[in-house]
A and B are shown apart, each in its own frame.
Chain A
Amino acid sequence: MDKLRNTRKGIVIIMLAAGAPFFFGLAGLSVDTIYIYAVKARLVTAVDACALAAARTIGRGQTEMNRIVDMTFNANFPADMLMTVSRSHTDPTITIIPNEGRREVAVEGTAVVPTLFMRMFGWDTLTVGASAEASRRDVNIMMVLDRSGSMFRAPGVNPGPNAMEDMKYAAQEFVNQFDDGRDKLGIVSFGSAPRVDYAPQSNFKAGAVALLGTLYADNSGTNSSSALWQGYQALTGLGEPNVLNIIVFFTDGVSTHFNGTFRTNTTPSGTVCDNIDIDGAIGTYSSPSSDGVIGLVDMDPGPPPVLSDQDDWITTPNCGFSSADPRDRIPVLPVVDLYGNSVTGPSTIPFTTSGIPTTRGLNIKPMTENLTVNAAIRVRTGALAGIPATIYAIGLGGEAPISYPADHNLMRRVANDPSSPDFGSHSNEPSGTYVYAPSAAQLRQAFQQVASEIFRLIQ
């Protein structure tokens, strides 16, 4: 020992040997800490995903929500992942936040981690925990659904289910995905004239599904702009700016009609009906080359069910105004519709007199397109009660015998889809999505896609 103490030979080796337990212990602690931290990071991902998934499926009831959460947790944190001994999560708990139109969903998770080095000090396993919360906004939805004549068709099979039946089924499935107790849902259907078929309300599932079952497509036009606006009016009538306000707009073709106040001309014989204003819907035919005019149509198509929901011509008693083609009494068209939306916009109005559109079918078509776009802009910017709404648009393709599919650019503009030609100048407005269903059989997929987009937005 004296020899060892008096020499410096082997001192480095001895020091290393003496310090090895400390260094290796420190390294082991670091490895265990890193390992635990890695497990914790994965657990945070799993419970965060669970909370978001729970918020998304809250309307489907606790049992379904628990199933989705379980699946999401297992997908993110499979058994034996990172050599964990076990892992578990709680069922989601829901807390209603008063007066804010939202609910909080919370999920907690734990994982038991085997230690690698710390077991030398008596810790064989450690339990790691994580929790996450997600917010789910209540949502008010108006479904604005096309029941124009072109929806009555039998693609592929004849006789067989027509597009209207496919749409009704898809819409019913859509309705059933929302929360009966907290969300509100209403329905506007439209042909030449729109109608609020089902006022927006909570506990809607049974009533809305039943109403959808009664919808019927008949020989009428497509009054998109007025339908959109009436849907918006119904939505804002709820007066709930804190919730997410949504319009789901479905149409199968080009817009043909609009609501307006139409002024009669002066007749040589002079009647009491000269120079009076008549409220109604005027329209044209679907064909792009058609210059024909249809109208005026009564804006109140009557209560549902609508088994004979055809156009009702305004006859204006005692004024001799009974023609289905009103050009003899209404020579020019208004520059705004009944709701103050402008008829000018991206589509050019070809025939005007001193800036006033003349009554021609070739004018009505671009006017209805512009009105639909302008109504959508006002919807998105909260023109009524300062309550903006996000619009999701679903377009149906043309199938024989209907050869006019939904106008893609029009629908993109309505939804303010990022692919819209005008998105750059409206990027600060709520942006929805345009989903195109090339055939009626793909409508269910399209409605499902829109539902999934809405669920993503309400989180």
Chain B
Amino acid sequence: MNELADFTSQWIRKTSRRLRSDSGANVMFEFAISLPFLVLMVVGTFAVGLMFDRSLTQGQLARNAANMYARGIRFNTTATQQLLVNAATGMNMQLDGTGDSVVYLTTLTRVRSDANCVVGGTSVPCGNRGLIVIAQRFTVGNTSIGPSIFGTIAAGNLDSQNNVINFEHQSYARATTSPSISDPVTGLGEGEFIYASDVRHNPTLLKFPGIVAPEQMLAWAYY
């Protein structure tokens, strides 16, 4: 064992001396020291580039979805939902409720302050007078990724055209707005409509080792 230890010690000393005297090896040595930084820089650039690309795709998806929605496209058929999947290149969006992305399309309106509803056969002031409510909702993708920024509407509260049933009165129709995103919509007038999309994406493929990636990406658009 001692012989082996002596041999190893001598080999390291010799190699070290040779490296110090050999300028070619020295370059390799310095390059090896620099390499982690260079690799980190390249990987970092690549990751940021991918993240930006994904962010751009997501933003365009939100824009295209809201644009089509505002023009009257109803996303309750496979054909129309496929339009969104096609626009979500690289975002692993699936129509079967799986995948890494979800698109919510929401019609928001402000209930008139003088709106009356019929409850139990009697005309009473609507419960949502003056409030911003969700009038229609379409969902495409994996809802388990996260809810819409405007709140969740249970399937049972939507009619066959995805209109929210009795949205002037029922509390479930009230939009839960995120202050940083939807404050400007507080300017929505009574009886006015605005069409919104919000896209959530779980960027699993962007999570490089050692690179901090967001758990979830969000994009939205109002039309």
A residues at B contact (CB < 8 Å): 7-13, 16, 27, 30, 34, 37-38, 41-42, 44-45, 48-49, 52-53, 56, 67-68, 70-72, 74-76, 78, 155-157, 160-161, 173, 399-400, 417-419, 433-436, 438-442, 444-445, 448-449, 452-453, 456-457, 459
Are A68's CB and B192's CB within 8 A? Answer: yes
Query: Taking the nearest CB of chain B, how far is it from the CB of A420, in angstroms?
Result: 10
Does B160 touch A at the CB level, under 8 Å?
Answer: yes
Question: 19 pairs across A/B with beta carbons < 8 Å?
Answer: A11-B27, A38-B52, A45-B63, A49-B63, A53-B194, A71-B188, A75-B194, A75-B222, A76-B222, A156-B123, A161-B123, A419-B160, A438-B166, A441-B117, A441-B118, A442-B168, A456-B72, A459-B70, A459-B71
Which of B53-61, B90-98, B199-207, B208-216 faces chain A?
A: B53-61
Contact pattern, B 104-122, Cβ under 8 Å of A = 1, otherwise 0: 0001010010011110011
A305 to B67, CA, bound (A): 43
Query: In the complex the two chains form, what is the Cα distance from A444 to B122 in whole Å?
Result: 17
With A78-B180, A452-B107 as known contacts, state yes or no: A41 contacts B70, CB within 8 Å.
no
Return the chain B residue nearest A161 by Cβ: B123
B112 touches A444 (CB 8 A): yes
Q: Which 4 A-B pairs have the closest CB atoms?
A: A456-B72, A74-B184, A8-B23, A12-B30
Is B26's CB under 8 angstroms from A8's CB? Answer: yes
List chain A residues, Cβ under 8 A from B52: 34, 38
Say whether B161 contacts A433, CB under 8 Å. yes
Give A400's nearest chain B residue, CB to CB. B121
Assembled-state Cα–Cα distance A449/B161 (Å)? 12
CB <8 Å contact, B56 and A48: no
Choose from A173, A441, A452, A459 the contact partner of B123 (Cβ within 8 Å): A441
In the complex, the answer to whether A9 meets B112 with C-beta atoms within 8 Å is no
Q: Decide if B223 is an interface residue (CB 8 Å cutoff).
A: yes
B161 lies within 8 A of A12 (CB):
no
Question: Would A7 and B23 count as touching, CB distance under 8 A?
Answer: yes
Q: When A8-B23, A8-B26, A400-B121 are in contact, do A441 and B180 touch as well, CB less than 8 Å?
A: no
Whether, in the assembled complex, B24 has its beta carbon less than 8 Å from a beta carbon of chain A, the answer is: yes
A160's nearest neighbour on chain B, judged by CB, is: B123
Alpha-carbon separation in the docked complex, A268 to B67 (Å) = 71
Judging by beta carbons under 8 Å apart, are B71 and A456 in contact? yes
Bound form: Cα–Cα A68–B59 in Å: 22
Q: Which residues of B contact A441 (CB under 8 A)?
A: 116-118, 123
Cβ contact within 8 Å between A78 and B184: yes
Report the bound CA distance from A71 to B192 in whole Å.
12
Min CB distance B31 to A, Å, is 5
Bound complex: CA of A7 vs CA of B184, how far in Å? 66
Q: Which of A13, A74, A435 contacts B163 (CB 8 A)?
A: A435
- CB-CB under 8 A from A436, the residues of chain B are 159
Smallest distance from the beta carbon of A428 to chain B beta carbons, Å?
14
Asked if B185 contacts A41 (CB within 8 A), the reply is no
Q: Which residue of B lies closest to A31 (CB)?
A: B48
Q: Which residues of A contact B166 (CB under 8 A)?
A: 438, 442
Within 8 A of A (CB), among B59-89: 59-60, 62-63, 66-67, 70-72, 74, 76-77
Q: In the complex, what's the smallest C-beta–C-beta distance from A48 to chain B, in angstroms?
A: 7
Q: Which residues of B contact A38 (CB under 8 A)?
A: 52, 55-56
- Name which residue of chain A comes closest to B192, CB basis: A68
A11-B30 Cα distance, complex, nearest whole Å:
8
* Given A41-B59, A48-B63, A74-B187, A453-B72 contact (CB < 8 Å): yes
- The answer to whether residues A418 and B223 also contact, given A38-B52, A459-B71 and a CB cut-off of 8 A, is no
Contact B67 A52 (CB under 8 A): yes
Q: How far is the CB of B61 from chain A (nearest CB, A)?
A: 11
Within 8 Å by CB of B27, from A8, A30, A72, A448, lies: A8
Residue of A whose beta carbon sits closest to that of B51: A34
The distance in angstroms between the C-alpha atoms of A394 and B167, with both chains bound, is: 17
Judge whether A12 and B31 touch: CB under 8 Å: yes
The answer to whether A418 touches B77 (Cβ under 8 A) is yes
Further pairs besides A44-B63, A68-B192: 13, Cβ < 8 Å? A8-B23, A30-B45, A45-B221, A48-B63, A49-B66, A71-B188, A75-B184, A157-B123, A160-B123, A438-B118, A441-B123, A445-B167, A456-B71
